Amino acid sequence: MNPMGAEKMSRTNQTIQTRLPEFDLLRSLAIIGVVIIHITAPLDLYAHQGVFVYYLFVSIHLAQRFCVPVFLIISGFFLTYKIENQQNPTLILKKRLLRIIPPYLFWSSFFYFLDVVLGERNFNLFLLLKDLLTGSVVGSYYFVVLIIQFYVLWWLLSKLKVWNYTKLLMISLGIQIIITSYLYYYLFQVHYFPVIDLMYRFIAAWSFYFVLGLCLGNNYEKIKRIIQKLKFPLVLMNLVFLVLSIIEFYIIDGLNLVNTINPQTEITGAKLETAISYWRISSQLYSVAFFLLIISFHSTNFLPSGVTQIVKKISEYSFAIYLIHQPILWKLFFRVFNLLGTGSLASFLVILVLDLGICYGLIYLGCKFLPKKYSRYVFGL
């Protein structure tokens, strides 16, 4: 028997549920977290409110730094949770790519030409093609390029019948340790991580999360029973890792608060980006612990029924929200700041509610009035 197929063969008795409510909750929390990250990312704007408010928003920001790792874990999870996916990987790859590439191209083109019309950038066909290939038209679009690479990687693994995901997880963990060690070696030399922009689009730097999802999906029923017994330790782990994340932020960038308030140099900007990045050890640990904590609840029965329905809808809309939230946010940002004060808590809450509300409304109306064949290519639904 092929040892690489051992895990696939062991899954025949696993009960497959049509819907996993804990994953609806994860997607909803992750997409809301992404929006919060982009509202709080210009931390220099919040520094003007004083040290206490600054670190309040630092804490809020760092508490959301599970988002992209969780999205990657979820993406890998559902590829292996359903056994039939591995029986026809080419069909599954085609379906996944058709769900994400057309909406990505539509909104990339829309926001690019909107910027051209508004005079915020000059049209350049070569730069447009480069931005489309690298996910750079909108800052958060790197994730789309990243997930396309991972889907193709899964397809290659499936075609090669590489199904021993535990072994792959150990390999990806080794890669993660090597990359993290290199980054920290560099950090101790110049006080920031190198080539951050490239790291966002470099799948090796994220591979552990995706492969962890593949591994969990392949053994979910067994793993879930273990995780459900660990709720309290997982709560403690999340709190500890979040506190460590804040401490690590302070060590890397916190002593630079005066420079954060004043105009940034290239170095201080790189230090701040490093201080909030996903590749800090504390952030990596927090991401995995957060995912496991939500999984430990197994269902969303503890939520009121109305909230559960909202969670399902936000989960369903999560990819579309991801595509459109950031440009809308930046159109709102300084208008709200001018009304309610730069970097205030009130401004933050108003921007969050407005951005999510506008995104939700646009997607809902688009799906309601556009024919299904068009809404699928616009919103990925």
Higher pLDDT, 64 or 339: 64
Longest dimension (CA), the chain: 68
Q: Report the distance separating Cα 349 and Cα 131, nearest Å.
A: 31
Q: Report the distance separating Cα 99 and Cα 103, nearest Å.
A: 7
Q: Report the distance separating Cα 38 and Cα 139, nearest Å.
A: 10
Asked if residue 158 is part of any domain, the answer here is no
Q: Is 21 a residue whose pLDDT tops 90?
A: no
| DSSP-derived 3-state class of residue 330 | helix
Q: CA nearest 175: which of 152, 206, 148?
A: 206
Asked if residue 214 is part of any domain, the answer here is no
Please, are residues 292 and 232 in contact by the beta-carbon 8 Å criterion? no
pLDDT at 269: 59
Model confidence pTM above 0.85: yes
Structure tokens at 81: 């949770």
Instruction: Tell the residue number behind the tokens 């009035």, with chain if given.
Output: 369
- End-to-end Cα separation, the chain, in angstroms: 40
Asked if residue 245 is part of any domain, the answer here is no
CB-CB neighbours of 326 under 10 Å = 23
Give 107's contacts (C-beta < 8 A, 6+ positions apart): 138, 323, 324
pLDDT at 335: 73
Structure tokens at 12: 């025949």
Asked if residue 344 is part of any domain, the answer here is yes
Alpha helices in the chain (DSSP H): 6-9, 21-40, 43-47, 51-63, 67-81, 84-87, 89-117, 125-134, 142-159, 165-190, 196-201, 207-218, 220-227, 231-252, 257-261, 266-275, 281-297, 305-340, 345-369, 372-379
pLDDT at 143: 94
Q: Is 5 a residue whose pLDDT tops 60?
A: no
Higher pLDDT, 14 or 344: 344
Asked if residue 360 is part of any domain, the answer here is yes
Backbone angles phi, psi at 41, to 5 degrees: -60, -40
The domain containing residue 337 runs over which residues? 31-50+304-381
Give 108's contacts (C-beta < 8 A, 6+ positions apart): 131, 132, 137, 138, 141
Q: CA nearest 69: which of 233, 247, 230, 207?
A: 207
Confidence of residue 235 (pLDDT cuts 50, 70, 90): very high
pLDDT at 52: 85
Please, are residues 246 and 54 in contact by the beta-carbon 8 Å criterion? no
Question: What does 72-127 look like in DSSP terms, one character per residue?
Answer: HHHHHHHHHHSTHHHHSHHHHHHHHHHHHHHHHHHHHHHHHHHHHHTTSS---HHH
Asked if residue 317 is part of any domain, the answer here is yes
pLDDT at 283: 94
Confidence of residue 302 (pLDDT cuts 50, 70, 90): low
Instruction: Tell the residue number behind the tokens 């069909």, with chain if given.
Output: 91
Asked if residue 282 is part of any domain, the answer here is no
Domain count, the chain: 1
Q: Report the distance separating Cα 76 and Cα 86, nearest Å.
A: 12
Question: What does 180-209 look like in DSSP terms, one character per residue?
Answer: HHHHHHHHHHHSS-S-HHHHHH-GGGTHHH
Q: Report the distance separating Cα 227 and Cα 309, nearest Å.
A: 25
Q: Report the distance separating Cα 265 and Cα 259, nearest Å.
A: 8
Please, are residues 284 and 237 in contact by the beta-carbon 8 Å criterion? no
Asked if residue 364 is part of any domain, the answer here is yes
Model pLDDT for residues 187-215, shown as the tens digit of each residue: 776 666 666 677 788 888 899 999 999 99
